[in-house]
Structure 1
């Protein structure tokens, strides 16, 4: 089974966004949310690396972030960080949706 590099990259982006929010603005909620959702996305990528149909955790994490950060982007109009994370999360949700539609491969 191939490693889900896209999923791990997404997880790193989310976690690093939380760390950057903390460093730049001293925002503890940004740090906590970034590390929580980055960890969930990383665990989801790990699960998908072992079973490509095991997408539930990744879908929950990226779907939640797409909604929350999309709402923040809509209200603020600021691309950084809300628009970036919302866009990356939407791409991830789309990717996972396509994986759900794929037929299983015979071993």
Structure 2
């Protein structure tokens, strides 16, 4: 079976983003959300690595993040971090639905 490297990289980016939000702004909620969604995405990447048709955990995590971060980007207009995370999450959703 092939390892879902893109899925694991996406999960690491989410977790790192949550940690950076905590480190820079002191946002505990960013840390909790980053670790939760990063872990869920890593679990989804693990599931995809074992069975390519078992993509639901990754799809749910990236879909929720795409919506939430997209709304934050629309409200704030700031590319960092909301716009980048919304874009990455949308790309992940499209990747999971197309492949």
Per the shorter chain, which TM-score range?
over 0.9
Which string of whole-angstrom CA distances, capped at 9 and with x for unpartnered residues, describes residues 43-97 of structure 1?
0000000000000000000000000000000010001100010000000000000
Pairwise CA distance, 1:25: 0.3
What aligned pairs does 1:1-107 form with structure 2 within 5 A after superposition?
A: 1-99=1-99
- Name segments (4+ residues, structure 1) moved above 2 Å: none
Give me the CA root mean square deviation: 0.4
Q: Unaligned 5+ residue runs, structure 2? A: none
Q: Which has the larger radius of gyration?
A: 1
- The alignment covers a number of residue pairs equal to 99
TM-score by length of 2: 0.99
Match of 1:102 in 2: none
Q: Unaligned 5+ residue runs, structure 1? A: 100-107
